[in-house]
Amino acid sequence: MPDLMDGVANFRRDVFPAKARLFARLATEHRPTTLFIGCSDARVVPELITRSEPGELFVIRTAGNLVPAHSPAPDGTAASIEFAVAVLGVRDIIVCGHSGCGAMTALAEGRDLSGTPRLASWLRHADASLARAAAGEGTGEVTALVRANVSAQLRNLTTHPAVARALAEQRLTLHGWVFDIGSGSVGRLETPDRAGV
Ligand SMILES: [Zn+2]
């Protein structure tokens, strides 16, 4: 493992001093404007690709950027969504998929996930994504599934009561993105407000 404490020392020495006033404010203030839901993939770094500063993004990262639909059962993702929308009052939610997603590739290629039963179970939250991709005309199976999955997860988001309420009161906007790792570009998808996701 690389010595991450070297990175911490570097941060304290070279980065923190330049942002000391920002961190002093953030020590007592947490008012992000955007909830970013991305994949846990190490190559997709929300603050880097959006050039966001500390305090600006409330981030949830899950395997395959999946957002389970609302259910009464305890759910950490749902709790974080509710906190971001109902308490922090974020104005925008981005669901961001990405090229080369391992989760989407496993699903698109029908890989045997019996050795990782928790992952297999989690990826069932992409069942609707698979159905959408199968019905569409994608440029490639994984690419089509990544896009369909972002749309499906945006739809799942709308089942969460806090999100549904904020959308009804027109104080929240949903966005679908796909980050291309090789080129660094971000493609934007049609969102529920415009396309009836
Ligand atoms: Zn991924």
Digit-coded pLDDT (tens) for 142-188: 999 999 999 999 999 999 999 999 999 999 999 999 999 999 999 99
What lies within 8 Å, CB to CB, of 68 at 6+ separation is: 75, 77, 78, 125, 156
Q: What average pLDDT does the segment 103-108 reach?
A: 96
Cβ–Cβ contacts within 10 Å for residue 46, how many?
20
Digit-coded pLDDT (tens) for 19-48: 999 999 999 999 999 999 999 999 999 999
Q: For residue 6, report the phi and psi dihedrals to the nearest 5 degrees.
A: -60, -40
Digit-coded pLDDT (tens) for 108-127: 999 999 999 999 999 999 99
Distance CA 109, CA 62 (A): 20
SS3 118: helix
Q: Domain-by-domain residue ranges, the chain?
A: 1-30, 31-195
Q: Which amino acid is at 51?
A: R
Write down the catalytic residue from 25, 31, 43, 171: 43
Residue 43 annotated to the active site: yes
Q: What is the pLDDT of residue 54?
A: 97
Distance CA 186, CA 66 (A): 18
Write down the catalytic residue from 70, 101, 132, 160: 101
Q: What's the gap in Å between 64 CA and the centre of ligand 1?
A: 4
| Superfamily classification of domain 31-195 | Carbonic anhydrase (3.40.1050.10)
Q: Is the pLDDT of residue 138 over 90?
A: no
Q: What's the gap in Å between 45 CA and the centre of ligand 1?
A: 11
Distance CA 125, CA 86 (A): 24
